[in-house]
Protein backbone atom coordinates (compact mmCIF):
# COMPACT_ATOMS: atom_id res chain seq x y z
CA UNK A 1 0.00 0.00 0.00
CA UNK A 2 1.30 3.48 -0.79
CA UNK A 3 2.44 5.56 2.12
CA UNK A 4 1.06 9.00 2.72
CA UNK A 5 3.00 11.88 1.21
CA UNK A 6 3.89 13.14 4.68
CA UNK A 7 6.04 10.12 5.52
CA UNK A 8 7.63 9.34 2.13
CA UNK A 9 11.17 10.33 1.41
CA UNK A 10 12.21 12.01 -1.83
CA UNK A 11 13.83 8.72 -2.90
CA UNK A 12 10.55 6.86 -2.35
CA UNK A 13 8.65 9.47 -4.33
CA UNK A 14 11.18 9.23 -7.19
CA UNK A 15 10.96 5.41 -7.12
CA UNK A 16 7.15 5.61 -7.25
CA UNK A 17 7.30 8.05 -10.17
CA UNK A 18 9.77 5.79 -12.00
CA UNK A 19 7.56 2.71 -11.44
CA UNK A 20 4.46 4.57 -12.68
CA UNK A 21 6.34 5.78 -15.78
CA UNK A 22 7.34 2.20 -16.57
CA UNK A 23 3.77 0.98 -16.20
CA UNK A 24 2.55 3.87 -18.36
CA UNK A 25 5.21 3.11 -20.99
CA UNK A 26 4.11 -0.55 -21.12
CA UNK A 27 0.49 0.49 -21.46
CA UNK A 28 1.31 2.89 -24.29
CA UNK A 29 3.34 0.17 -26.04
CA UNK A 30 0.39 -2.22 -25.82
CA UNK A 31 -1.95 0.44 -27.18
CA UNK A 32 0.51 1.16 -29.99
CA UNK A 33 0.57 -2.52 -30.97
CA UNK A 34 -3.23 -2.81 -30.85
CA UNK A 35 -3.84 0.21 -33.08
CA UNK A 36 -1.04 -0.55 -35.54
CA UNK A 37 -2.47 -1.11 -39.05
CA UNK A 38 -0.78 -4.51 -39.39
CA UNK A 39 -2.36 -5.66 -36.14
CA UNK A 40 -5.79 -4.42 -37.21
CA UNK A 41 -5.48 -6.11 -40.62
CA UNK A 42 -4.25 -9.32 -39.00
CA UNK A 43 -7.13 -9.32 -36.54
CA UNK A 44 -9.62 -8.68 -39.36
CA UNK A 45 -8.16 -11.55 -41.40
CA UNK A 46 -8.29 -13.88 -38.42
CA UNK A 47 -11.94 -12.98 -37.78
CA UNK A 48 -12.81 -13.47 -41.46
CA UNK A 49 -11.13 -16.88 -41.53
CA UNK A 50 -12.88 -17.89 -38.31
CA UNK A 51 -16.24 -16.79 -39.75
CA UNK A 52 -15.62 -18.70 -42.98
CA UNK A 53 -14.59 -21.79 -41.05
CA UNK A 54 -17.78 -21.53 -39.03
CA UNK A 55 -19.97 -21.05 -42.10
CA UNK A 56 -18.31 -23.90 -44.02
CA UNK A 57 -18.53 -26.10 -40.95
CA UNK A 58 -22.25 -25.45 -40.66
CA UNK A 59 -22.71 -26.04 -44.39
CA UNK A 60 -20.87 -29.36 -44.16
CA UNK A 61 -22.97 -30.50 -41.20
CA UNK A 62 -26.17 -29.49 -42.97
CA UNK A 63 -25.16 -31.18 -46.24
CA UNK A 64 -24.15 -34.31 -44.36
CA UNK A 65 -27.48 -34.39 -42.52
CA UNK A 66 -29.44 -33.91 -45.77
CA UNK A 67 -27.45 -36.64 -47.53
CA UNK A 68 -28.06 -38.99 -44.60
CA UNK A 69 -31.79 -38.25 -44.71
CA UNK A 70 -31.91 -38.83 -48.48
CA UNK A 71 -29.90 -42.04 -48.19
CA UNK A 72 -32.24 -43.25 -45.44
CA UNK A 73 -35.16 -42.81 -47.87
CA UNK A 74 -33.56 -45.16 -50.43
CA UNK A 75 -31.70 -47.65 -48.23
CA UNK A 76 -33.18 -49.67 -45.36
CA UNK A 77 -31.55 -50.24 -41.97
CA UNK A 78 -29.72 -53.35 -43.27
CA UNK A 79 -28.16 -51.41 -46.15
CA UNK A 80 -30.36 -53.00 -48.82
CA UNK A 81 -31.81 -50.68 -51.50
CA UNK A 82 -35.52 -49.87 -51.28
CA UNK A 83 -36.57 -50.60 -54.84
CA UNK A 84 -40.15 -49.44 -54.17
CA UNK A 85 -38.69 -45.93 -53.72
CA UNK A 86 -35.75 -46.05 -56.12
CA UNK A 87 -37.74 -47.02 -59.24
CA UNK A 88 -40.33 -44.19 -59.02
CA UNK A 89 -37.59 -41.65 -58.24
CA UNK A 90 -35.55 -42.86 -61.23
CA UNK A 91 -38.60 -42.61 -63.50
CA UNK A 92 -39.28 -39.05 -62.31
CA UNK A 93 -35.66 -38.03 -62.95
CA UNK A 94 -35.69 -39.69 -66.39
CA UNK A 95 -38.94 -37.88 -67.25
CA UNK A 96 -37.55 -34.52 -66.13
CA UNK A 97 -34.38 -35.04 -68.18
CA UNK A 98 -36.50 -36.05 -71.17
CA UNK A 99 -38.58 -32.88 -70.90
CA UNK A 100 -35.44 -30.71 -70.69
CA UNK A 101 -33.96 -32.42 -73.75
CA UNK A 102 -37.25 -32.13 -75.65
CA UNK A 103 -37.51 -28.42 -74.80
CA UNK A 104 -33.92 -27.78 -75.88
CA UNK A 105 -34.50 -29.65 -79.15
CA UNK A 106 -37.61 -27.63 -79.93
CA UNK A 107 -35.85 -24.33 -79.24
CA UNK A 108 -33.04 -25.21 -81.64
CA UNK A 109 -35.49 -25.99 -84.45
CA UNK A 110 -37.08 -22.55 -84.31
pLDDT at 1: 52
pTM above 0.75, yes or no: no
Please name every residue paired with 75 in a beta bridge, in sequence order, or none if there are none. 81
pLDDT, tens only, 29-60: 999 999 999 999 999 999 999 999 999 999 99
Asked if the model's pLDDT at residue 6 lies above 70, the reply is no
58, 70 in Cβ contact below 8 A? no
pLDDT, tens only, 80-105: 999 999 999 999 999 999 999 999 88
Amino acid sequence: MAETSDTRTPAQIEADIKRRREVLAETLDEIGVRVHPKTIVGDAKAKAVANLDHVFGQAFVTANRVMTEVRDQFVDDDGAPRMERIVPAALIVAGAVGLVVLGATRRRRR
